[in-house]
Chains A and B, each alone.
Chain A
Amino acid sequence: MRIADAFNKRKAFIAFITCGDPTLEETEKILLEMEKGGVDLIELGIPFSDPTAEGPVIQGANIRALSGGVTTDKIFEMVRRVRPNLSVPLVFMTYANVVFSYGVERFARTCAEIGMNGIILPDVPFEEKHEFSDVFEKYGLDFISLIAPTSEGRISLIAQEAKGFVYCVSSLGVTGTRDSISTNVSQIVDRVKAVTDTPAAVGFGISSPKQAAEIAKYADGIIIGSAIVRLIGQYGTEAHEKVFEFTKDVRNALDSIEK
Chain B
Amino acid sequence: MSKGRFGIHGGQYIPETLMNAVNELDEAYNYYKEDPEFNTELTELLNEYAGRPSRLYYAKKMTEDLGGAKIYLKREDLNHTGAHKINNVLGQVLLAKKMGKTRVIAETGAGQHGVATATAAALFGMECEIFMGKEDTIRQALNVYKMRLLGAKVNAVESGTATLKDAVNEAMREWTTRIADTHYVLGSVMGPHPFPTIVRDFQAVISKEIKQQIMEKEGRLPDAVVACVGGGSNAIGAFYHFIEDKKVRLIGCEAAGRGVDTFETAATIATGKLGIFHGMKSYFCQDEYGQIAPVYSISAGLDYPGIGPEHAFLHDTGRAEYVSITDDEAVEAFEYLSKTEGIIPAIESSHALAYVKKLAPTMDKDKIIVVNISGRGDKDCAAIARYRGENISE
How far is A52 from B291 in the complex, measured between Cα atoms in Å?
13
A147 at the interface (CB under 8 A from B): yes
Contacts of A146 in B (CB 8 A): 15-16
CA distance A55 to B15 in the complex (A): 14
Nearest CB to that of B17 among chain A residues?
A: A148
Chain B residues within an 8 Å CB radius of A151: 16, 19-20
A101 near B286 with CB under 8 A, answer: yes
Q: Does chain B have a CB within 8 A of A154?
A: yes
The A7-53 residues at the B interface (CB cut-off 8 A) are: 48-50, 52-53
Majority secondary structure of chain B interface residues (helix, strand, loop or mixed): mixed
The answer to whether A59 touches B159 (Cβ under 8 A) is yes
CB contacts (< 8 Å) of B166 on chain A: these are 50
Would you call A187 an interface residue if the criterion is a C-beta within 8 Å of the partner chain's C-beta atoms?
Answer: no
A114 within 8 A of B: no
The answer to whether A125 and B292 have CB atoms under 8 Å apart is no
Closest to A152 in B: B20
Asked whether any CB of chain A lies closer than 8 Å to the CB of B290, the reply is yes
* Chain A nearest CB, measured from B266 CB (Å): 15
B2 on the A face (CB < 8 A): yes
A169 CA / B15 CA spacing, docked (Å): 10
| Contact between chains at A101 and B177 (CB < 8 Å) | no
Q: Does B260 contact A (CB under 8 A)?
A: no
Q: How far is A61 from B49 in the complex, measured between Cα atoms in Å?
A: 47
In Å, the complex CA distance between A127 and B3 comes to: 8
For B13, B160, B275, the residue with the greatest tally of chain A CB atoms inside 10 Å of its CB is B13
CA distance A48 to B279 in the complex (A): 15
Which residues on the A side are within 8 Å of B274 (C-beta)? 100
**Does A233 interact with chain B (Cβ within 8 Å)?**
no
Any B CB within 8 A of the CB of A96: yes
* CB pair A101 B288 closer than 8 Å: yes
Partner of B16, one of A97, A100, A169: A169
Interface flag for B246 (CB, 8 Å):
no
Task: State the Cβ distance, B25 to closest chain A Cβ, in Å.
Answer: 13
B17 and A150: CB pair below 8 A? yes
B13, B19, B289: the one contacting A101 at CB < 8 Å is B289
B179 contacts A by Cβ under 8 Å? yes
Contact indicator A98/B292 (Cβ below 8 Å): no
Q: Which residues from chain B contact A124 at a C-beta distance below 8 Å?
A: 13
Contacts of B14 in A (CB 8 A): 123, 125
Contacts of B19 in A (CB 8 A): 125-127, 148, 150-151, 154
> Could you tell me if A158 and B16 are in contact, using CB atoms closer than 8 angstroms?
yes
Supposing A128-B2, A173-B176 touch, asked if A101 and B12 sit within 8 A by C-beta, the answer is no
Within 8 A of A (CB), among B1-56: 2-3, 11-21
Q: For this complex, into which size category does the number of interface residues on chain B fall?
A: 35 or more
Proximity string of chain A (152-166) to chain B, C-beta cutoff 8 Å, 1 when within and 0 when not: 111000100000000
| Residue in contact with B21 in the complex, picked from A53, A101, A150, A173, CB distance below 8 Å | A150
Measured CA separation A122–B278 after assembly (Å): 12
CA distance A126 to B18 in the complex (A): 12
Partner of A172, one of B13, B177, B273, B289: B177
**B173 close to chain A: CB less than 8 A:** yes
Distance of A48 Cα from B287 Cα, bound (Å): 11
Query: When the two chains form their complex, are residues A97 and B15 in contact, meaning their CB atoms are under 8 A apart?
Result: no
* A160 nearest CB across to chain B (Å): 15
* A235 contacts the other chain (CB 8 A): no
B16 contacts A147, C-beta separation under 8 Å:
yes
Q: How far is the CB of B135 from chain A (nearest CB, A)?
A: 16
Q: Are A97 and B176 in contact (CB under 8 A)?
A: no
Return the chain A residue nearest B286 by Cβ.
Answer: A101
Q: Are A122 and B15 in contact (CB under 8 A)?
A: yes
In whole angstroms, what is the CA distance A150 to B166 when docked? 25
B12 & A97 in contact (Cβ 8 Å cutoff): no
A50, B17: Cβ atoms under 8 Å? Answer: no
With A150-B21, A173-B177 in contact, is A125–B16 under 8 Å at CB?
A: yes
User: Is there an interface contact between B169 and A127, defined as CB atoms closer than 8 Å?
Assistant: no
**Residue B284 interfacial (CB < 8 Å):** yes
Give bound CA distance, A154 to B24, whole Å: 13
Cβ-closest chain B residue relative to A51: B169
Enumerate the 8 nearest inter-chain pairs by beta-carbon distance, A residue then B residue, closest first: A101-B290, A173-B177, A148-B17, A96-B276, A97-B290, A127-B2, A49-B291, A148-B16
CB<8 Å pairs between A and B, sample of 15: A49-B291, A50-B169, A52-B15, A97-B275, A101-B289, A122-B15, A125-B16, A146-B15, A146-B16, A150-B179, A151-B19, A151-B20, A154-B16, A172-B176, A174-B177
Beyond A98-B290, A127-B3, 7 additional contacts (C-beta under 8 Å) are A100-B276, A122-B15, A124-B13, A125-B12, A148-B15, A150-B16, A169-B17
Which B residues fall within an 8 A CB radius of A? Answer: 2-3, 11-21, 159-160, 165-166, 169, 172-173, 176-179, 273-279, 284, 286, 288-292
